């Protein structure tokens, strides 16, 4: 099994006896984008700082490319990170000088890399301006540029797109998506659920320092929803089809994962041949925002023992809304 790019095992951090991060375990593999989401104060920034080696765990451990970043600082040569929001730079230096300084600290970068990144992050026009006069969005983009200077294999970013306009937001998420496609492991904390759902591999939902759910969005993006006249029969039929990997019923719909893109048409034909009416078929867009809201609310209710009562099937009101009746991974 390949070594995970980032590995957190039973990570716990307490300040003054108060736990901020509780028993957190997760892995991020090369090419994956792993997002930490959660309310303010959930512990996301602390996790980012623990994983990047800026803070020390109270218990548990962190590995970057299989090594402890505290004991092996050299592993940070493979790390690019932005741990401040907005990204922190020396305000009396220009954007280019700040990147040059980072390059020097990292042991140097290849000729032209700084210009390349300034252009990528649409900062070429401001390269010779002092960072002190940069807007919030420009500083954030410069932060991403600094993180990517050394072509890192691990990127860790704390709210990389906070305070950005929609165009900059799109740019940063596109750059991160491309980095992941190039094999970089990306860990980020964010509140931009609508943006990350488009390209994140997995999303960890945090509340009160604990990981309360991990959603695999890779599977989610492959899902299709078909609105049929006889859902139960459709489900039974599709379960026997070799070109369908997963089937579940959700209300009047059947949700399935096709084994290949060609299988989508074959599902439609199969249902029609069996005289099951296909009223509508579309990609099953996962509403992460709603799911997140429900999970956090349910967790809070569970913790405080408040008014939410469980349904007969054990699920909490709201939580099951996005879950397939087949259960399993949401």
Partner 1 sequence: MSTLLRMEFGKLFRLASVRFGLVLLVLFPLLWAYAPGIFEVYGFFLVSGFQVPALSLLSSMQFLLPLLVSITAAELLGVELAHGTLPTVLLRPVTRPQWLSAKLIVVAIYPFLVMAVFLLASLLAGTPYGFGDFVGGTGLGESGLLGTGVMTAGEAFGELLLAYAVAALALVPIGMLAVLFSVLFMNAAGGALATLSTLIFMQLLVVFPSVEPYLLTTQLNAYSSPVASLAWVLALILVYSALFAASAVVLFERKDF
Give the interface with partner 1 as residue ranges (CB under 8 A): 49, 52-56, 73-77, 79, 81-84, 87-92, 101-102, 104-107, 146
Min dist. Cβ of residue 29 to partner 1 (A)? 21
Contact present, 210 and 281 (Cβ < 8 Å):
no
Q: Give whichever of 102 and 220 is closer to partner 1, judged by the CB atom.
A: 102
Within 10 A of 156 (CB to CB), how many other CB atoms are there? 28
91/251 with CB nearer partner 1: 91
Is residue 141 a contact partner of residue 94, using CB atoms and an 8 Å limit?
no
* Helix H or strand E segment including 283: strand 278-283
The CA distances from residue 234 to 226, 256, 278, 280, 330, in Å, are 9, 11, 10, 13, 21
Q: Would you give the DSSP letter of residue 75?
A: G
Nearer to partner 1, 29 or 97 (CB): 97
User: 3-state DSSP helix/strand/coil percent for the chain, to nearest 5?
Assistant: 35, 25, 40
Q: What's the CA gap between 296 and 298, in Å, rounded?
A: 5
3-state secondary structure of 268: helix
In angstroms, give the least distance from the CB of 133 to partner 1. 14
Q: Could you tell me the smallest distance in angstroms from the CB atom of residue 77 to partner 1?
A: 5
Residue closer to partner 1 by CB (options 83, 172) is: 83
Name which of 81 and 180 has its Cβ closer to partner 1: 81
Compute the least distance from the CB of residue 156 to partner 1, in Å.
Answer: 8
CA dist 303 and 305 (Å) reads 6
Output the smallest distance, CB 109 to partner 1, in A.
12
- Record the tokens describing residue 47, joined without a space: 């996790």
87 or 215: whose CB is closer to partner 1?
Answer: 87
CA distances from 141 to 90, 91, 157, 324 (A): 15, 15, 12, 39
Tell which residue, 297, 323, 317, 305, has the closest CA to residue 39: 297
Instruction: Supply φ then ψ for residue 71, to 5 degrees.
Output: -85, -25
Beta carbon nearer to partner 1, 209 or 258:
209
CB 108, min distance to partner 1, A: 10
**Cα 186 off chain centre by:** 8
Q: Which is nearer to partner 1, 13 or 235 (CB)?
A: 13
CB of 49 to partner 1, least distance (A): 7
Nearest CA-CA partner of 207 in 288, 137, 295: 295
Instruction: Give least dist CB 34 to partner 1, A.
Output: 18
């Amino acid at each position: 099994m390949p070594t995970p790019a980032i590995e957190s095992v039973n990570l716990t951090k307490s300040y003054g006896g108060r736990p901020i991060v509780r028993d957190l375990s997760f892995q991020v593999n090369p090419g994956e984008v792993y997002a930490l989401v959660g309310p303010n104060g959930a512990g996301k920034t602390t996790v980012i700082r623990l994983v990047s080696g800026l803070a020390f765990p109270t218990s548990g451990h962190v590995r970057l490319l299989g090594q402890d970043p505290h004991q092996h600082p050299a592993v940070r040569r493979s790390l690019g990170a932005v741990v401040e929001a907005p990204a922190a730079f020396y305000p009396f230096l220009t954007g280019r000088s700040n990147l040059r300084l980072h390059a020097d600290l990292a042991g140097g970068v290849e000729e032209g890399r700084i210009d390349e990144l300034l252009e990528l992050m649409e900062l070429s026009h401001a390269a010779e301006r002092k960072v002190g006069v940069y807007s919030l969005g420009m500083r954030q983009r410069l932060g991403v540029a600094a993180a990517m200077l050394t072509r890192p294999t691990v990127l860790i970013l704390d709210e990389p797109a906070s305070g950005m306009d929609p165009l900059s937001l799109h740019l940063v998420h596109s750059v991160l998506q491309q980095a992941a496609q190039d094999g970089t492991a990306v860990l980020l904390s964010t509140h931009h659920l609508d943006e990350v759902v488009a390209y994140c591999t997995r999303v960890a939902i945090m509340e009160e320092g604990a990981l309360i759910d991990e959603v695999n969005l890779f599977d989610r993006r492959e899902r299709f929803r078909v609105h049929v006249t006889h859902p139960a029969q459709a489900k039974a039929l599709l379960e026997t089809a070799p070109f369908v990997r997963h089937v579940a019923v959700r209300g009047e719909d059947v949700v399935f994962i096709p084994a290949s893109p060609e299988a989508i048409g074959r599902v439609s034909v199969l249902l029609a041949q069996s005289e099951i009416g296909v009223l509508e078929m579309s990609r099953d867009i996962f509403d992460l925002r709603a799911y997140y809201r429900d999970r956090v609310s349910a967790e809070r209710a569970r913790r405080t023992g408040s008014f939410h009562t469980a349904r007969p099937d054990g699920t909490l009101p709201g939580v099951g809304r996005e879950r397939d009746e087949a259960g399993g991974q949401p």
